[in-house]
Amino acid sequence: MSQLSVWTYRWLPLIHDAAWVPAALLMAFLLRFNLEGIPDPYVSGFWTLTAVALPVQLISFHYFGLYRGIWRFASIPDLIRILQAVVTGALVTFLLLFVWQRLEGIPRSVTVLYPVLLIAGLAVPRLFYRWFKDRQFGFASGQGKRALIVGAGRAGELLVRDLLKDGQYLPVAFLDDNRKKHGLDIHGVRVVAGSDAFEEQVRGLNIEIVLLAIPTASAALMRNLLDKSLALKIPCRTLPSLSELAEGKVEVGTLREIRIEDLLGREEISLDDLQVREFLKGKRVLITGAGGSIGSEFCRQVAEYQPEKLIMVDHGEYNLYQIDAEMRAAQGGLIVSLLGDIRDEPRMRWIFEHYRPHVVFNAAAYKHVPLVEENPAEGVKTNVLGTSRIADIAVETGCEKFVQISTDKAVNPTNVMGASKRAAEIYCQNLNGRSPGTAFITTRFGNVLGSAGSVVPLFEKQIKQGGPVTVTHPEITRYFMTIPEAVRLILQAGSMGKGGEIFVLDMGEPIKIVDLAEQMIHLFGMESGKDIEIEFTGLRPGEKLYEELFHQSEALIGTSHPKIMLSASREVAWDEMQALLEKLRGACAEREIDSVRSLLHEMVPEFIQSSVSGDTAKPDGVKLH
């Protein structure tokens, strides 16, 4: 910063404020005597008051931080600091003079007029300077895209304030459905109408971009505004949702394009944050599959609750490298990153014995239905044998809670992936009764948007390539939630669980995949059947038309959280399960695929085996694995 800048930002404000102290006192005396001059008996009182007030006020100004702010960005906090500094300085000044000379020669009305005039003298120039700069660099310049802001609430006010400073967009008007706000100005930007006048205002005001400033906006409102914007060929941006705005910052940099998850009608999920913090704070937390889409989000969210250590385990080097780099930049010494496969018993045993985790989130799994169907032995080795192995080790090393991440495909499974996850559920729930020191908790949910293998990135790629978008069946439906909200609910369930529970996450209403495809095509500004074709390819091996979140024999009951339900677990003969696991190990090792499927059916009687398989006739591993 140049010497001139230092002078401008530090010394000129100080000189300005110091000059206002005698000026405010002079005006107070003159007002007291009807602007006819100060009578001789009161002149000495004026000079005495000035001599005391000036140093006291300057000390008070400095103490309350009047010079930490910049006039260009003067705001309510600056006005509060002025009020505190002036009132405190005036009280000290008059108290000193009262003790010293009983306020001789000082009219009592001056004690009221002086602080009021000084507050005005300090605040008005600051606010005028900001207004002048906002006009100069905002409206007066005419730079930036002409923006229509939808939402004149707190978020809209913060956004327009930042827009005026940034210069990237020129805020022209607000739309808000609250009629009481119509005709009002927010930082000089008029609230002109409600959202029903959207097209009229966009055309009439020559709008170039629409900014949605309603973090709590419903999916219906988002779809409506997006449809209208696309019809007018106007880009539309939105502020993140409340859950994404974790730090509460509303600024130009947080604006983003509308995404498919904004249009799916999901409600914001609130957590009992205190309960989750008590669950994780100061604990050593181990996350398997930490490099995956779900596992990496676990790492981000768990780190916010101040664990003693966050141990990230994954068998994929590149995935682990990515989350390690991200987490170390944010969390530093909290992080331990370990390469390892949950099927590797010596490695897992060393990790558990060396770090002694208090809490384990087992997110390691093979989850892609067609691939696991083609490679059943590999799916079982990870999802069943690997899970049972680290569950046993967790008990042996004194782990307090083991949270098993399951799936809606474990309910009445028609594929190996679902059956293997159901077998893991059964094992963990029954191990819970045999390990009083370790609580085993299972959480079951559906598809997550944006995860590895999700249809969303596939559809996006197909749309960018010009289509067609492939859907297996016109009636196929799935439950969807975003990765962050799934992880938040799992953390909540983990904090609630006492051991032995199967928590079922409320996924809302199932969504037809063809509707999802049409919405994504529309999101890209195109029409299905005209710009992009939808092609139906037929159900894949092991794929169901409709997914279920619980078995008909599982009685669901509510919990203290409205989005989490509790399902009854099934008791099995422990010795029989151990014998089946031993046979399963042998069948997987020998690639006896028919035996693998048969043994899975014994463990999970509701498993309806698919008639199509990629490797029933070939050794597992010939195809993709």
Lowest-pLDDT range of 51-55, 345-349, 536-540: 536-540
Residue 384: the pLDDT is 95
Residue 612: the pLDDT is 43
In this predicted structure, the answer to whether residue 558 has a pLDDT above a threshold of 70 is no
**Helical (H) or strand (E) element with 43:** helix 40-63
Cis peptide before 107 (omega within 30 of 0): no
Dump pLDDT digits (tens) for 175-209. 988 888 888 778 778 888 888 888 888 888 888 88
Alpha-carbon distance of 425 to 302, in angstroms, equals 23
Dump pLDDT digits (tens) for 282-333. 999 999 999 998 999 999 999 999 999 999 999 999 999 999 999 988 777 7
Domains, the chain, in order of start with CATH, read 3-136 (no CATH), 142-258 (3.40.50.720), 273-449+480-507+548-603 (3.40.50.720)
Residue 391: the pLDDT is 96
In the residue annotation, 409 being an active-site residue is answered as yes
In this predicted structure, the answer to whether residue 340 has a pLDDT above a threshold of 90 is yes
- 343-352, long-range: CB < 8 A, 24+ apart: 343/381, 343/382, 343/385, 343/386, 343/389, 345/389, 345/393, 348/389, 348/390, 348/393, 349/393, 351/286, 351/311, 351/313, 352/286, 352/390, 352/393, 352/394, 352/396, 352/397, 352/399
Residue predicted with more confidence, 399 or 135: 399
Residue 268: the pLDDT is 56
Lowest-pLDDT range of 128-132, 188-192, 564-568: 564-568
Dump pLDDT digits (tens) for 457-495. 777 788 888 878 888 888 887 767 778 888 888 898 888
Which one is catalytic: 367, 409, 421, 563?
A: 409
Contact 388, 625 (CB under 8 A): no
CA angle 331, 451, 511 (to 5 degrees): 135
